[in-house]
Amino acid sequence: MSRLDAQLAFLGEADRLKSVLRATSLHDRSRRENSAEHSWHVMLHALVLAEHAARPVDVSRVMTMLLLHDLVEIDAGDAPIHGGHDPAEQEAKEQAAADRLFGLLPVDQRDAMRFIWEEFEAAETDDAIFAKSIDRVQPVLSNLATDGGTWPEYNVTPEQLETRVGVKVARGAPAVWSGLRSRIDAWFSGRASLLHY
């Protein structure tokens, strides 16, 4: 098998990410979002919001992380942040998926892509911290655009959002979280006043 054969096999397999559904909806509420279009959208967020990174980042490395970050869901599925999955079990599934999927590539590319995916997962470098922040920003914006989106369904409170999402977003992009936080507070206040009647 030539290098090109291996590369095309990997790219063909990647097509399946378009069929992995996430908890969040499109902004027009017409359907749930899939992980491939989510990946595109978070890359656009990273390009546009890079100036708000807590520390200087290499935007092209951040974009590459976000391009690859959800590929493992082809085998492991999406684990919604408010869905209560077992993190250890999910991580084992994702490691096996990374073995299989990146393993379709020529060895040098397999290793390079695995390296940057592992860097993203570890969330220790400045680039990975910002990439992880941005990955959490996009679903919040989707929920805000769809009248709370999945928050009512999962009974999410503002305090849970702060713990599960806010801390991570603020670590990589504090000014973005501050802007989101005021929008989140406004949404929950509006809901509380509706429930009061």
Contact set with a copy of itself (CB under 8 A): 2-5, 7-8, 10-12, 14-19, 26-28, 30, 33-34, 36-37, 39-41, 43-45, 47-49, 51-52, 59-60, 63-64, 67-68, 105, 109, 138, 141-142, 145, 175-176, 179
**Alpha-carbon span 80 to 164, nearest angstrom:** 11
189 and 196 in contact (C-beta within 8 Å)? no
CB 150 within 8 A of CB 24: yes
Least distance (Å) between residue 1 CB and a copy of itself: 12
Smallest gap from Cβ 141 to a copy of itself, in A, equals: 6
Closest approach, Cβ 190 to a copy of itself, in A, equals: 18
Tell me the three state secondary structure of residue 23.
strand
- What would the two tokens of residue 44 be? 């656009």
Nearer Cβ to a copy of itself (64/161): 64
Nearer to a copy of itself, 69 or 132 (CB): 69
Select 31 or 196, whichever has its Cβ closest to a copy of itself: 31
Residue 15 or residue 89: which is nearer to a copy of itself going by CB? 15
Nearer to a copy of itself, 27 or 55 (CB): 27
Two tokens at 31? 């359907």
Angle at which helix 3-14 crosses helix 87-102, to 10 degrees, equals: 140
Q: 80 or 179: whose CB is closer to a copy of itself?
A: 179
Closest separation in Å from C-beta 58 to a copy of itself = 9
Bridge partners (DSSP) of residue 32 are: 25
CA distance 185 to 178: 11
- DSSP notation for 84-110: ---HHHHHHHHHHHHHHHHTTS-HHHH
CB of 166 to a copy of itself, least distance (A): 16
Q: How far is the CB of 120 from a copy of itself (least distance, A)?
A: 14
Q: Is 12 helix (H, G, I), strand (E, B) or coil?
A: helix
- Partners of residue 25 on adjacent β-strands: 32
